[in-house]
Amino acid sequence: MKLKKKHFIIGGIALFTLTGAFLYYQYTKIMDYVIKFKGVKLHVFGMDGIVFDLVLAFTNNSDIGFKIVSQQYKAYLNNKLVSEVKSDKEQTIAANATSDIAVNVKFSPRSILSAVNINEFVTSKQNIDLKVDIKVKVGLGPIKIAIPYTYTTSLKELMSGTGQPKA
């Protein structure tokens, strides 16, 4: 059988469709990510400022590794902005693995004191809500995708180590 132009067209459409389906499947697996709090490394602690590295564990469920190109975090206590952190440090996320993401955080304790009543902080940490709006931009070759995520917990849950995201 002689291959005709229509065979090449059908083959091209099939190849394009299968590639698109594979990429969409990998995209859904990437979007099924899990971010967990891993730890904090304190550098500076004082009323003039607190500086620490926040380490998060990013679980990538896809067969495709990628790079985190940029990160932006906005932290709120009781819905009042207390810190905004940006990082343009590129970090590699391995395929089908959990990789650590580190970001350097700097803020003033005075911003927290203006957002939270000190008596409430000492006596009832469960009434202090922490919300972190996260925008991570990932790169896969020339393609860049923004991934939004919101982490919400109470200060009490966070300090006890059970501060997992609320639905």
Quick: pLDDT tens for 98-134: 999 888 888 888 777 777 766 666 666 557 788 889 8
| Confidence band, pLDDT 50/70/90 cuts, at residue 166 | very low
| Confidence band, pLDDT 50/70/90 cuts, at residue 167 | very low
Q: What are the CA-CA distances from residue 100 to residues 53, 67, 86, 103, 120 (Å)?
A: 12, 12, 17, 10, 33
φ/ψ bin of 51: left (φ > 0), alpha (ψ from -120 to 50), beta (otherwise):
beta
What pLDDT is stored for residue 124 in this prediction?
Answer: 61
The answer to whether the CB of 153 falls within 8 A of the CB of 128 is no
Residue 116 burial (CB count, 10 A): 19
| Confidence band, pLDDT 50/70/90 cuts, at residue 162 | low
What pLDDT is stored for residue 102 in this prediction?
Answer: 85
Average pLDDT over residues 129-152: 85
Select from 39, 33, 35, 74 the least CA-distant residue to 55: 39
- The full set of domains in the chain, from first to last, is 31-160 (2.60.40.10)
Average pLDDT over residues 58-86: 86
